[in-house]
Structure 1
Amino acid sequence: MGTAPGLRSAGRTWALSSHGICYLGIAAIAWGIITQLEVSAWTYHYSDQGDYTWEQARNYCQTFFTDLVAIQNKQEIEYLNKSLPFYRRYYWIGIRKLSGTWTWVGTKKALTKEAENWAVGEPNNRHSNQDCVEIYIKRPFESGKWNDESCNRRKKALCYRASCQPFPCSQRGECVETIGSYRCDCYPGFHGPECEDVVQCTELKPKGVQMNCSHPYGHFSYNSTCVFECQEGFERQGASTLRCLPSQQWSADIPMCTAITCPVLSAPERGELNCSHLHGDFTFGSKCAFSCQTGFTLMGLKSHECMATGSWTGDAPRCEAITCPALSAPDQGKLNCSHLHGDFAFSSTCAFSCQTGFALMGPETRNCTATGTWTGNAPRCAVSQSPRSCLEYISVPTAITCPVLSASDQGELNCSHVHGDFAFGSTCAFSCHMGFALMGPESRECTATGTWTGNTPQCKAITCPVLSAPDWGELNCSHLHGDFAFGSTCLFSCQTGFALMGPESRECMAMGTWTGDAPHCEAVACPMLSAPDQGKLNCSHLHGNFTFGSTCAFSCQTGFTLMGLKSRECTAMGTWTGDSPRCEAVACPMLSAPDQGKLNCSHLHGNFTFRSTCAFSCQTGFTLMGPESLECTAMGTWTGDSPRCEAITCPELSAPDWGELNCSHLHGDFAFGSTCAFSCQTGFALMGLESHKCTAMGTWTGETPQCKEDGALFLKQVLAYSSGTALAVAGVVLSGMLIALIAKRLSDREEKKKLLNPTSDLGSPGIFTNAAYDANL
């Protein structure tokens, strides 16, 4: 129920309902106090006593209602023009020019072109840049139109009481006045009558993927954000970040983590492959073991593992046939071999025979076995028994001999002697052990001069390509047979802050290749960082995103201060220096309500911090001097100085002629609450109220009284100073005078009675008793 002195309603109270326009009757109007039927709707009100400047009119409306009227459509204009009484000076409405823009002061919204209702030539038809606006009511022409006017002129206050309360709709939507009530136009992501409910998305339950979520409005609700990551050896299939949308849907499907794949392996020729797969065929973590068939040996690593890089831990091995020592023909004999898998290798077969006159002593054939040995013993050719008797009597010449030969280091020598060991016709074949290469002739023959053909051959270790240290790593090698030659072993390591990816060591094999693939050094990774709430993150990466040596600088948005380290660095241990900083809203000095006033604040980021808004208002009888609201800026200061509430002043009173004035002031000279008592000098009677009070509207509770001469006192004086004769003579004269004085006294008494009568038009709220009435008379 709204009450205010000197207030009247527009006959009917305008209310908006969902069924159209309603007119609600006034319950009572009496003594300048209005009692209105309680409704939760937009209603109009106006005052019928006193005219006010625009500022006073607004103070009046804000004191008893919401604000000066903010008209929303032409239907309202038509109703106001029809229902309001005509006043020659018209009514103030809640439009004012702010920073050059016509603005509805109650809603802080600019006046749109569609809502303009200016009269012809308006605004500023006087070219005087007026800042306030009046509405024409019941004007003979252009009624209901608007006119800009000087804010200091005095007019009636046209007020409204809004349905939307301060900070409505849970501050998650816009409050819109509707017919009969109001509605909340909720911002995306919110719903409910007061936008109190938040859109919910289905709870995410990923499998095989790491999820980290933030929920600003509740568990898996609007604006919840989830970041997905995969473990080492897995790669993400799908979006890295999902956000709950106002449609109750996630911005993308839940991603999956699939194991990184390596190239498909196959068994080597003459070999077998046996694999175990943890996460799928030939994917991260798969292990494959190689083996060879009987008679073959594995050259290379026995097993490979699929790494997180998508490569295997070594090169594919091969199966080579096991070799047996090279065979040579016996003296006075021949050798004929067949080789399936290489000279003198597994399954090779060698047949032996002797020249005429010699007989084979031993096996005719020998086979190279899987153990690298020949079946049987080496045969020889012996002279047959039938001619031997004749030969005993024949002189046999002796063959010329050559120097005895020997095998070189890491090599073997296999000789065949026709006429005796290392004699004319002897042939020697040279070979090298596995991992060594023959440098020189493969065979030498003893000539008739007792010298060997060619030079002495040597066995030198087979070399592998020269290795180098990986980037950000080191190499340490040991060489048995020469730099980077067969049998050399190289160890790899990484500098501080880097991890070795690949084999720790490689060995130079007999084929001139290294075991395994070349390793590399990867920077140690730290957990991924994110910007703090209301902040920013700026990172520089030396060796990859969020890895050793990465430096991340933190900063805050305008209006926020960084609490904690300004930067963090990824260390060699895979951890960040320091703790995560945060952004705290800049604080402004705490505000308090002005004397005789109220303070209503809304805080976005904490009490009296950046973007906090505080609205000021004054109690009845006081007007706000200064800004209506202050906002906490990014500098930690308010947008203006704190306002104060000053008592509304009434016109200064003066004592009546032949009278005196005695005032008491609560809030300043002749201000709201001041009380002034009137009295008259001896011989004069007070005509009017003895005391006046300054009201909240800046008016006094009555008109200034007057001091009139007291007729009864005059008659007493005449009687006291006149003799009986004179009294008789003056009787006739005095009788006429007495009648006139009595008539005058009665007239004054009636006038005073009207002033003091509570039912008169000049009265103010309050009731006088008969005794009080008689005393005043």
Structure 2
Amino acid sequence: MGTGPRSAGRMRAPGSRRICCLSIAAIAWGAVMQVEVDAWTYHYSDQGDYTWEQARNYCRTFFTDLVAIQNQEEIQHLNQSLPFHGRYYWIGIRKLGGTWTWVGTKKVLTKEAENWAAGEPNNRRSNQDCVEIYIKRQQESGKWNDEPCSRRKKALCYRASCQPFSCSQQGECVETIGSYRCECYPGFHGPECEDVVQCAKLQPEGVHMNCSHPFGDFSYNSTCVFQCQEGFQQEGVSRLQCLASQQWSAETPICTAITCPVLSAPDQGKLNCSHLHGDFAFGSTCDFSCQVGFELKGTESLECMATGTWTGNPPQCEAITCPVLSAPDQGDLNCSHLHGDFAFGSTCDFSCQVGFELKGTESLECMATGTWTGNPPHCEAVACPVLSAPDQGKLNCSHFHGDFAFGSMCDFSCQVGFELKGTESLECMATGTWSGDAPHCEAITCPVLSAPDQGELNCSHLHGDFAFGSTCDFSCQVGFELKGTESLECMATGTWTGDAPHCEAITCPLLSAPDQGDLNCSHLHGDFAFGSTCDFSCQVGFLLVGSETRECTATGTWTGDAPHCEAVACPVLSAPDQAEMNCSHLHGDFAFGSMCDFSCQVGFELVGSETRECTAPGTWSGDAPHCRAISCPELDAPSRGELNCSHQHGNFTYNSLCTFSCQEGSVRMGAEVLQCAATGNWTRQPPVCAEDHAPFLKQVLAYSSGTALAVAGIVLSGTLIALLAKRLSTREEKKQLLNSTSDLGSPGIFTNAAYDANFSAWS
């Protein structure tokens, strides 16, 4: 599992243990020498545990780095030498950018170098980006596991054997247990990579060579650059390098003379050349000349330069030219050229287009002097008769070839309010006649208008019925108003100055149904327009206040005032004695729809309706309620005793108080005072008066009132009650005793079902 070279070690860390230390000997070429090297050693923290980042900082501060495992032998050595630790040890591999990487060398973990435990890495709880090694684990000892980097474990460090000068700085120093080995870079060999590869010595001919030798003459990475003299080109690469294979990167180049493109004699001309280094090569010169009747265009002599180009472009021989001729206006030119356009020997024939006639010589020829045999001719247009403007109109002509001549165009137009009858435009043709007859002007008409519904029309016509200049006035009958323009005029476009107006009935403001009411309307001339009538009504529970019917008048206003609906009112309610009332009002206090809820205070009950509603007739639903005090069962004086009660709200009702007393010779068993509660029950069971012939019972029952009675009820056990009962003379007295003890807080001991059984046992 390769990790790359490791750096030299540092000071000893506090709280660390050293588990291995070795030394090695190195052999140099040609002689044997002993080199003492600090051995590669392992260290671990024996005080405290660290997160992965803390562990790495610890190792880099005092040693080299976290351990980078290289092979199975190293794993076995660590597993045997390190002590067992329940949280295991951090090593120097971590997930960086989603890839497991040796942090010391930044090298990616290869598949063949993996040493994961079964099912790992699983990233089970996510963010398990750091790696621990199982040391002396019962299962899969020495294997790896991915863990969250925040966990705390022992730091497993190493101190490197490799030094900056190891492997002659020409190879990679690879750590081994107690030593290191050199993996030489390409081009170097030897135990310490001290030897360099040699290539064959170069000795080129006719080529300039410049070499650099970083590791010795013509050795690995020696570079030689080649250059040819001006005018010569190199065949082959210009730079060679000595490779690690002891071969040069290419063959030695050679120099040859640079050639220029081959030249040939121009048409109607001659070529004469001299060559120094080969045909049309560097240094060659060529002279040009032309035949009689032609002239040279370009440089007379060219030379092949070192760039492989001639000193100029090859010249040409061109025939002597005459001035360029062009076709006459409205005419054509037809030429034949023997030696180029309008050159010596060219002939040109002239002609005119249709509607034109030629004035001058029909044919010319270019002579050797560079002049034509005569002057160029021209074309003149054929003429048509003169035209004049029509009545009520205008004439506008454009003359291309003279007044009223062939090609002249004459446009006719009429004054505003008139339209042209006939051809709008005439053209003078090649025959000397116009393309048609002259047109005339007539007045423009507009669409016929009619009086609007409920209205009248009054028109005046200047140039005929409903023609240009006619004006029409509109009006409406009483009760209607004009919508649109009151007066229209027929324009020159044959349209009126606006749309025809219409008469609409005068409208009144829109009406709406009153709140809690309805609106019913009839419309004669449109919604809420003149003549519309509207009837108003109210919903159940509401009364109409105002006019029942309104009518839209000719002035655009309604008769009467706007009515409204008011809710029917019920008599005002008030809460009964000792009761509460809560009301909600939809349409006003105690009006239609109002709801009132009634409730009584504690100790009282409601008699009558709990909720009352104000109905449409103005009366309340239900009966008026009242509050009545809650009653408790009536009490009787005990045998051989007396009863004295006070009543606030009626006999034996809520808050009534009743006091019990016994006659002389009797003893009260139970509470002295009872009160009627809001639940309709008395606060205690009524007491009894027992015959006074049990002194011991007097001592106990002396505590029958106050706090002592409660204490006595808690202390008395079943046996004590039995002893008391045996001293009572009658069954009734025993039963009363049981009831009184039940008031003392022992209801679970003396149930009614157990009276008879206990009574028999006590007898």
Q: Same fold (TM over 0.5)?
A: no
Give the number of the structure whose alpha-carbon radius of gyration is greater.
2
Higher relative contact order (CA 8 A, sep 6+): 1
